Amino acid sequence: MVSKIPTPSFNPKFIIFKLFLIIAVINGFVLSNFASILKKSLHIITFVFLLFATANSLAKTITVCNSCSAKTIQEGINLADEGDTVLVKKGIYKEVNIIIDKSIILLGENLPTIDGEDRGEIIKIVADNVTVDGFKIINVGTSYTADYAAVRVIKKDGFVIQNLELEKLFFGIYLEKSNNGKVLNNKIKGDAVNEYNSGNGIQLWYCKGVEVRGNTVQNVRDGIYLEFSDNIIISHNKSKNNLRYGLHFMFSNNDIYEYNTFENNGAGVAVMFSKFVDMNHNIFKKNWGTAAFGLLLKEITDAKITNNVFQENTIGINVEGSNRIDYKNNDFISNGWAIKVRGACYTNNFENNNFMYNSFDVSYNSNLNDNKFNNNYWSDYTGYDLDKNGIGDVPYRPVKLFSYIVNRTPETIILLRSLFIDIIDFSEKVSPVFTPDNLLDENPKMKTINHDRS
């Protein structure tokens, strides 16, 4: 049987459909960009939506509230078709295992609360192009066999997860094998006490092309966790007071993270086994503790670390087995160790950085190899500049003898700030005997380098 397809231009019904489609697109645009303004004028938009729900059955809005026909979110989703909006009114919804299996927009009005009552996973997305916007999700169940998450996306593309507030959670937003989505402006606040029974704030597992922007993550195990995820942009996030790492990177290549703040995390930020990672304009501060660091690099190659601030960390950057990395225009301020190089590192270039008031500037426990220090400012530099070109005439040796000794025998750190140590450091500075004599900055700057971080 052959059915005749009507040509759209001659069919008035199709013109109306098109018109509404345009309105829908504009509405969608308003939705994703002006969420905060939207809240105020939501009733108008709801009205428009309702209008077209009555006029056209293709993109309707289903309202969920305590007195509506759809009383639970799952019922609302079941009633919806592809492309519909499910609007959830303010209230408390005690639901778990909400499964979104169609391309819909799940929209919360005035931050409705979904309470999982510690019974398990809350929202599961198993369709492409799903938007979840504006909910408060609390009490995600804890399990030692399943990673329950507040929102999970499974093998689907084009998701947008935004303006959520997650509290009392196990895992927060869990993306698994899902690509080209966005995770925007969420607030995640956990109550993690132990590493073994807590989850991560935002977890990406085998994802590609995801944007993670403007989120605040605190008091969970790892703030943001990436594993096998490529081409990810992580920007303008705040990750603080987390039990383990603020950001944890494993086997993830070609990623960018910029303009983030990582503060007071258990161990700082760990970037491991990854290639072509660009880290810029981040702030790493107050990662202070006996086993803490600002940034841990392990088996990283071809990375760029530029324009970051490392402040008050026990170890600013801990580098292990990392090659071809550029460290430029960073500030290292008041750290225990600014940079600790653990060996097997080749072609690391340290240029135009400020090293200010660190207990130890650089610690090295292997050969210098072909790593270079050039044109940095060192607050401990005591040389002179006779030709007034802004560059010291005497090279600076960033490795102190004591730092060398501590590397060899860690127990000797107990002599920190002893007069004897000051004396031997001084004599070593005058005539180097033990520290590698090619480890030096040939052109130390005389004045602090002013980095423009706008």
Partner 1 sequence: MLKILKYSFYDLMRSRWSYVYFLFYLLLGVVLLFLNNDLSKAVITLMNVIIILVPLIGTIFGVMYYYNSREFTELLLAQPVKRSSIFLGQYFGVATSLSMSLVIGLGLPFIFYGIFNSNAIWDFSLLLVTGAFLTFIFTALAFVIALCNENRIKGFGYAILLWLFMAVIYDGLFLMSLLYFEDYPLDKFSLLATMLNPVDLSRVLILLKLDISALLGYTGAVFQKFFGTDFGLVLSSAMLVIWVAVPTFFIWRIAKRKDF
Q: Which residues bind partner 1 (CB under 8 A)?
A: 288-292, 314, 336-337, 359, 405, 408-421, 423
CB of 419 to partner 1, least distance (A): 5
For residues 168, 144, 201, 330, the Cα torsion angle rounded to the nearest 10 degrees is 130
Given the complex with partner 1, which of 111 and 421 has the nearer CB atom?
A: 421
Rank residues 88 and 338 by Cβ distance to partner 1 and give the closer one.
338
Nearer to partner 1 among residue 240 and residue 328 (C-beta): 240
Residue 383 half-sphere exposure, CB side, CA atoms within 13 Å?
25
The span from the CA of 173 to the CA of 183, in Å, is 9
- The answer to whether the CB of 185 falls within 8 A of the CB of 210 is no
Residue 413 beta carbon to partner 1: minimum distance, rounded to whole angstroms: 5
Q: Which residue has the tokens 């086994």?
A: 273
C-beta of 17 vs 288, nearer to partner 1:
288
Q: Do strands 98-100 and 123-125 pair parallel, antiparallel, or not at all (unpaired)?
A: parallel
Residue-level length of the chain: 454
Which C-beta is closer to partner 1: that of 174 or that of 262? Answer: 262
User: Min. distance of Cβ 409 from partner 1 in angstroms?
Assistant: 4
- As a whole number of angstroms, the distance between CA 132 and CA 331 comes to 39
Structure tokens at 91: 């209230």
Estimate to the nearest angstrom the gap between the alpha carbon of 146 and the chain centroid: 24
Closest contact distance (angstroms) between CB of 415 and partner 1 is 6
Q: CB-based burial of residue 3 (10 Å sphere; 0-12 exposed, 13-18 middle, 19+ buried)?
A: exposed
Strand partners, 360: 337
Q: How far is the CB of 382 from partner 1 (least distance, A)?
A: 18
Q: CB-wise, 141 or 289, nearer to partner 1?
A: 289
Taking the complex as a whole, the smallest distance from the CB of residue 284 to partner 1 amounts, in Å, to 15
SS3 418: coil
